Amino acid sequence: MKRIFCVFLILATLCMTVSAASLSRGSRGDDVKALQTALKQRGFDPGAVDGIFGARTREAVIAFQKANNLTPDGVAGPKTLAALGLQTQSTGASSDVYLLARAVYAEARGEEYLGKVAVAAIVLNRVNDPGFPNSVSGVIYQPGAFDSVSDGQINLSPDEECIRAARDAFAGWDPTGGCLYYYNPKTATNKWMLSKPVLLTVGEHVFCR
Amino acid sequence: MRMKQTVKKSGMIVWIVFLTLLVCVMSAAAISQAARANATETQWENTLRASLQEAVDTLRNVENDLSKLLITTDEAATRQELSAVALKSAACAQALSRLPIVATGVQNTLKFANQLSSYCVTALHSSVDLPEDLDERLAAFFTTCQSVNEELALVEAQMLAGELALTDVQKQTVPTEGLFGSIADDLLEYPAVIFDGPFSDGQAETTPKQTREDVSREQAEETVRSLGYSCPYTGLQEGAIPVYVFSDENATVQITRAGGLLYQILAANVPGEETIDEETAARTAQAFADALDRGTMRNVWREYGAGTVTFNFAPEENGVLYYPDLLKIKISLESGKVVSFEGRNYWVNHHERAPETPALTADEARARLKDGFAVETERLCVISSYQKEVLCREFFGTYRGMEYAVYFAASDGREVTSFRILSTETGKMVL
C-alpha cells in the first residue's frame, strides 16, 4: 500500500493529468484549472485560475502555442497539453467529440456554421441507423465513407468552430432532419448518391436520406 | 584534333554512362515504389477479405442458432440462444462495418445484422416475459438470414476464385450495384414493428406519439416573429419531420409543419466576453421554456459550451418528471439571450398520458438500493427503456465516492437501469 502511495505521489509530482482530449473556450472544471496553472507557471497569463476557459485563457493558450511553434488556434489539444506537461486521459465522450470535430473540419471547414453542424449530424445519424457502424469512429473510418479520411485530411487539427459544431450535434442539434448522406453536387460522380432526393442544401453541400 | 575528338568521345561516354545509370536508378525506384504500392494494396485486400470472411462465418453461425431457436420450448434455453444470436450478429455487424460502404449490399447486410442483434437484446429486456410473437418474428429473421447467407456465399465464392477484389469494389472500378445480388431493401420485408431496439428504424421514423394538425407557413412565420426572430422564410424541409425553415446569417429557426411547434433554433454564436453568470442564464432559459406554454418545465441538468450554457428541461405533470420529452435551451453568457433550441424529443414523445399510481413506495424503493448508497435526491419520473416508457423511482446519490442515478420500476420494483455520473469539462456526463 505504501509503495502504491509513493508511486502515486511521484506521478502526481511529475505531471498533472487532465481528463479531456482537448480544452477550448467554454470548457470548465478542474482540467481548465490545471491548464491555467500550467500556463501561469510558464509566464503566460490566463487571468484568474477559476476553471473557466474564457477569452483570457484562450489568449494565453495562443501566446503559448506561438512561443512553442504549435498551431496558434486557441484550442488546448493533445499537443499543446503535452507541451505544457499535462497528460491527456480522454473520456470516451470527449475523444468522440474531438474526432467528430476533426471530421467536420476535414469535410466542411469552408462551410457556414449550419453546414458544419449538419455534417456532424450526418455522422451521428449514421451511428443511430442500422445500416451503418455503431460508433462515431466506426462511421468516420468506414472504408469509402468520407474522402477526407482517404486523403488524410481527417488528421488535421480542428478549429474552435468545428469543435462547437461537433458539441452541438452531440447535444442533439440536427438541422438535416435525419439525413444520412451529403455530397457536393459540383464534384460528386456517384450515380447512386446523385439519384437520392435532395432534402436540404447548405452552402456547397446537399443532404439526402 | 585527335585529342579533341578523344575528349569529346569520352565526354559522350560519361554522359551515356550517367544517363544509363539514371535510367537504372529511376527504374529501380519505380519498381520498388510499385512493389510497395502492390504490397499495400494486397495487405488492404487481405484485411477486407478477412472482414468479409468473418462476417460470412458469424452469419452462418447465426442462421444455425436461429434454426435451433425455432424448435426450442424451454425459456432458459431460448434466452441463452437469444443472447448468443445478439452477440454473434453484433460481431457480424462489426466485421461488415470494415467493408467499403459503396456496395449497397454491404449496407443492407449490415442493417440486417444490426437489427437482428438489437431485436434479440430488446426481446430479452423488454419485459419480464419473452414477447408473445417471438416465434413468428424469429422465423421471419431466419428466412431473411438464409437468403442473406446464400448471397454472401456467392460473393465469398467469387472472392476465393480470384474473380472479385474488394479493393476494386472500394475504388468502384467494378460495378457495385449487382454485387451481393438481391440483398436489397426488398429482402428485408419484416414489419417495422418487428424491431424497436436502440438502433431501430422505428427510432429513425420519428413518428410522433401525438397527432397534430398541420399549420400553414404563415402560422409558422407568426410563431417565429413572436419569438423575436426576423429571419426570412427559406423553404419547407421535407425530412423525417417536415419543418418550415426561416434562416439568415444570424440564425436558423425551424417550426414543425405538424403542430407548428418550435423545433430548432441554431446560431453560430461566436463566443465573446461573458457578461452574465450561470444563474442569470438559468432564469432566462426557464422564462423561455415557460413562454412556450408547454406546461411546467423543470431544468434537469446543464452543459457548458463555448461561452454558453445549455439547459435541459423536462415537463412535470402531477409530480412526475417525463425524461423522454426533453428539450434543450442554450443561452449565450455574453448576450444573455437564447442562441439555440432543440425540441425533437419533445415533438416526437410528448403526448397525453394516463396517470399511473406507483405500486412501490419511496421507502420500498429505497430499501432496494445497495447498502452504503447515500441518497441525495429521490423523485418519480418516466424514462424510456427499450422503446417503452416506464414509471420509475429515481435516486441520485453516491456510492464509494462515485455518483450514480438508479431507477426502479414503480410497478414491480425491478431495477430498470442505472447510470454512473462523471464530471467532465462540459458538465455532468452519464454513462
Q: Using one digit for the tens of pLDDT, what is the confidence trace for A61-110? A: 999 998 888 888 888 887 788 788 776 554 445 678 889 999 999 999 99
Note whether residue B247 is domain-resident.
Answer: yes
Residues of A in contact with B114 (CB under 8 A): 130-131, 134
CA distance linking residue B415 with residue B204, whole number of Å: 27
Task: Give the best residue of A56, A113, A162 to mutate against chain B (max B CB count within 10 A).
Answer: A113
Which of A93, A117, A129 has its CB closest to that of B266? Answer: A117
Domain boundary among B178, B205, B232: B205
- Please give the grid coordinates belonging to residue B6: 578523344
Tens digit of each residue's pLDDT (9 = 90 or more) over A108-130 = 999 999 999 999 999 999 988 88
In a domain, B384, yes or no: yes
Q: Is the pLDDT of residue A167 over 80?
A: yes
Helices (H), B324-388: 344-349, 362-367
Tell me the three state secondary structure of residue B325.
helix
What is the domain extent for residue B290?
A: 217-349
Amino acid B314: pLDDT = 94
Clarify whether residues B129 and B194 are in a common domain: yes
Which residue, B315, B349, B383, sits at the end of a domain?
B349
One DSSP character per residue, B67-131 reads: HHHHH---HHHHHHHHHHHHHHHHHHHHHHTTS-TT-HHHHHHHHHHHHHHHHHHHHHHSSSSPP
Domain membership flag for residue B200: yes
First and final C-alpha spacing in chain A = 57
A2-88 and A92-174 agree in CATH topology: no
> Coil, strand or helix: which one is A208?
strand
> Which residues of A, range 83-112, sit inside 8 Å of B by Cβ?
91-94, 112
**Any chain A CB within 8 A of the CB of B167?**
no
Pair (B370, B342) in one structural domain: no
Same domain, B129 and B55: yes
pLDDT, residue B197, reads: 38
Asked if B239's CB is within 8 angstroms of A179's CB, the reply is yes
- B122 reaches A (C-beta below 8 A): no
Domain shared by B116 and B173, yes or no: yes
B352 phi/psi in degrees, rounded to 5 = -75, 125
Rounded to the nearest angstrom, the minimum Cα separation between B4 and chain A is: 56
The minimal CB distance from B306 to the residues A31, A160, A200 is found for A160
Chain-centroid distance, C-alpha A24: 10
Among the partner residues A26, A93, A117, nearest to B304 by beta-carbon distance: A26
Contact A190 B345 (CB under 8 A): no
Q: Are residues B119 and B149 in the same domain?
A: yes
Nearest to A193, CA basis, from A205, A204, A178, A182: A182
Which of B 177-236 lie inside 8 A of A, CB atoms?
Answer: 177, 199-201, 203-204, 206
B:59-88 residues touching chain A, CB 8 A cutoff: none
Q: Please state whether beta strands B308-317 and B327-332 pair in parallel, antiparallel, or not at all (unpaired).
A: antiparallel
Query: Is residue B239 within 8 angstroms of chain A, CB to CB?
Result: yes
Domain annotation covers residue B48: yes
Q: Are residues B82 and B199 in the same domain?
A: yes
Question: Does B16 reside within a domain?
Answer: no
Rounded Cα distance between A155 and B377, Å, is 44
The answer to whether residue B28 is domain-embedded is no
B100 touches chain A (CB under 8 A): yes
Query: Is the domain of B48 the same as that of B188?
Result: yes
Compute the distance between CA of residue B30 and CA of residue B22 in angstroms, rounded to an integer.
Answer: 12
Q: What ipTM describes this predicted complex?
A: 0.74
Grid cell listed for B277? 453568470
Residue B398 included in any domain:
yes
Determine the residue of chain A that is closest to B196 in CA distance: A130
CB-based contact A113 B266, cutoff 8 Å:
yes
Contact call for residues B63 and B145 (beta carbons, < 8 A): yes
What is d(CA A29, CA A10) in angstroms, rounded to the nearest whole number? 24
Q: Do B315 and B370 have their domain in common?
A: no
Do B195 and B56 share a domain, yes or no?
yes
CB A70 within 8 A of CB A82: no
Nearest CA in chain B to A164: B306
Is the CB of residue A132 less than 8 Å from the CB of residue A126?
yes
> What does the pLDDT read at residue A73?
83
Give B424's contacts in chain A (Cβ within 8 Å): 19-20, 29, 91, 93-94
Q: Is the four-CA dihedral B383, B386, B387, B388 of positive or negative sign?
A: negative
Identify which of A27, A161, A177 has the shortest CB distance to residue B240. A177
Q: Is A27 touching B (CB cutoff 8 A)?
A: yes
A130/B172 CB distance under 8 A:
no
- pLDDT tens for chain B, 431 residues long, are 666 677 777 888 888 998 999 999 999 999 888 888 888 888 888 888 899 899 999 999 999 999 999 998 888 899 999 999 999 999 999 998 888 876 667 788 888 898 898 888 888 876 667 888 888 889 989 998 998 888 888 888 888 888 888 888 777 777 666 666 555 454 444 433 333 333 334 344 468 888 899 999 999 999 999 998 999 999 998 877 899 999 998 899 999 999 999 999 998 777 777 889 889 999 999 999 999 989 999 998 888 777 888 999 999 999 999 999 999 999 998 899 999 999 998 999 999 998 889 999 999 999 999 999 999 999 999 998 877 889 999 999 999 888 899 999 999 999 988 888 876 656 665 65
Q: Same structural domain for residues B292 and B328? A: yes
Please report, for residues B124, B133, B152, B327, the alpha-carbon distance to residue B276 in angstroms, rounded to integers and kept in the order given: 49, 56, 60, 22
Query: Which of the listed residues B349, B376, B406 is the one where a domain comes to its end?
Result: B349
B304/A27 CB distance under 8 A: yes
Buried b (16+ CB within 10 A) or exposed e, B128-162: eeebeebbebbebbbebbeebbebbeebbeebeee
The residue count for chain B: 431
Cβ burial of B401 (10 Å; 0-12, 13-18, 19+) is: exposed
- B247:A176 CB<8 A: no
Count structural domains, chain B.
Answer: 3
Q: Map out the domains of chain A as residue ranges.
A: 2-88, 92-174
In a domain, B330, yes or no: yes
CB of A176 less than 8 A from some CB of B: yes
Residue B206, phi then psi, degrees to nearest 5: 55, 40
Closest partner residue to A199 among B206, B239, B425, by Cβ? B239
Residue with cell 441518497: B375
CATH of A92-174, one of 2.30.40.10, 1.10.10.2520, 1.10.287.3510, 1.10.3720.10: 1.10.10.2520
A178/B114 CB distance under 8 A: no
> Does residue B278 sit at the A interface (CB-CB below 8 Å)?
no
A84: left (phi over 0), alpha (psi -120 to 50) or beta: alpha
With contact defined as beta carbons under 8 Å apart, do B224 and B246 qualify?
A: yes
CATH 1.10.101.10: does it fit domain A2-88?
yes
Helices (H), B304-380: 344-349, 362-367
Q: What is the mean pLDDT of chain A?
A: 80
Q: Are residues B188 and B125 in the same domain?
A: yes
Residue B337's alpha-carbon distances to A172, B144, B219, B270, B291, in angstroms, are 20, 53, 24, 13, 14
For residues B154 and B253, membership in a common domain is answered with: no
- What does the block give as the cell for A120? 456532424
Is any Cβ of chain A less than 8 angstroms from the Cβ of B175?
A: no
d(C-alpha B32, C-alpha B346), whole Å: 61
